[in-house]
Amino acid sequence: MNRAVLDSIRNAAPGILPSLLQCDFGNLQTEVERLVAAGTEVLHLDVMDGHFVPNLTYGMPIVEGLRRHTDLPLDVHLMISDPLAYAQPMVDAGADLLTFHIEAVDSAEHAARVAHSIREMGVGAGVAINPETSMDTLGDCLDEVDMVLVMSVQAGFGGQSFNPIALDRIRQLRQRYPELLIEIDGGINLETIGRARQAGCDLFVVGSAIFGQDDYSAAIASLGRAMVDEMISDSVATDESGDSR
């Protein structure tokens, strides 16, 4: 495995990962340049197959096209029914971290085998879980993955509200696996990013809160401040509670 790339993703934490699903694909090189200038260290790609989820996005050609324009790590979220069928082609196209859904496999044991196979391809492996799926389904596969992607909305469906169950799951994972990379995706904006960071999240996938703004640098800077402000606010509240005792 290319540990240097995985370490660079770890070192980006707490990191804001633009979800390129909402970028201007007609001007991909310029979009990447704007994101790099704004301080982006990792790019996130959402791959949907129209079967595991009802939407259809893009595949290997976009990953390959991005790789030609940037050396940034590419975090590829596979919302597809058969993750291993496309894992190697995605790696060949330039993916650095592949995340598959626990709902796309038969069991935690199957998930562990998929994660092992992905890591054998020389990239990081992540497992994603939807809000409505029990955490028990992850089982011991967490010992085989580099990252868990906690979905705060149901994968593949638009117009959903942030589900705060994601925060409880992040806290649970952080307590049990202090070294595990934890990522959150869905409804991350100025109101939610600080809460996710306070819960222990490392990586934050952001779509409209960046691409819906004219100035990417300002948008990412505002999100970064929101993370810090929440941590400071929580620290002050803890100190005041301690003083009162």
Q: Is 50 assigned to a binding site? A: no
- Residue 25 in marked binding region: no
Is 156 known to sit in a ligand binding site? yes
Flag whether 139 is marked binding.
Answer: no
46 is in an annotated binding site: yes
* 35 in Cβ contact with 24 (< 8 Å): no
What is the per-residue burial (b if ≥16 Cβ within 10 Å, else e) of 149-185?
A: bbbbbebbeeeeebbeebbebbeebbeeeeebbbbbb
State yes or no: 158 annotated in a binding site. Answer: yes
Find out whether 106 is annotated in a ligand binding site. no
Q: Does the annotation flag 8 for ligand binding?
A: no
| 77 annotated ligand-binding residue | yes
Q: Does 39 belong to an annotated binding site?
A: no
SS3 string, the chain, reads CCHHHHHHHHHCCCEEEEEHHHCCHHHHHHHHHHHHHCCCCCEEEEEEECCCCCCECCCHHHHHHHHHHCCCCEEEEEECCCHHHHHHHHHHHCCCEEEEEHHHCCCHHHHHHHHHHHHHCCCEEEEEECCCCCHHHHHHHHHCCCEEEEECCCCCCCCCCCCCHHHHHHHHHHHHCCCCEEEEECCCCCCCHHHHHHHCCCEEEECHHHHCCCCHHHHHHHHHHHHHHHHHHHHHHHHHHHHHC
The catalytic residue among 49, 75, 96, 185 is: 185
233 is in an annotated binding site: no
Question: Is residue 185 flagged as an active site residue?
Answer: yes
The one catalytic residue in 46, 96, 146, 202 is: 46
Amino acid at 2: N
| 243 is a catalytic site residue | no
Amino acid at 209: A
- Mark the binding-site residues for a divalent metal cation, compressed into ranges: 44, 46, 77, 185
- Mark the binding-site residues for substrate, compressed into ranges: 19, 77, 156-159, 185-187, 207-208
Would you name the residues annotated as active-site residues?
A: 46, 185
- Mark the binding-site residues, compressed into ranges: 19, 44, 46, 77, 156-159, 185-187, 207-208
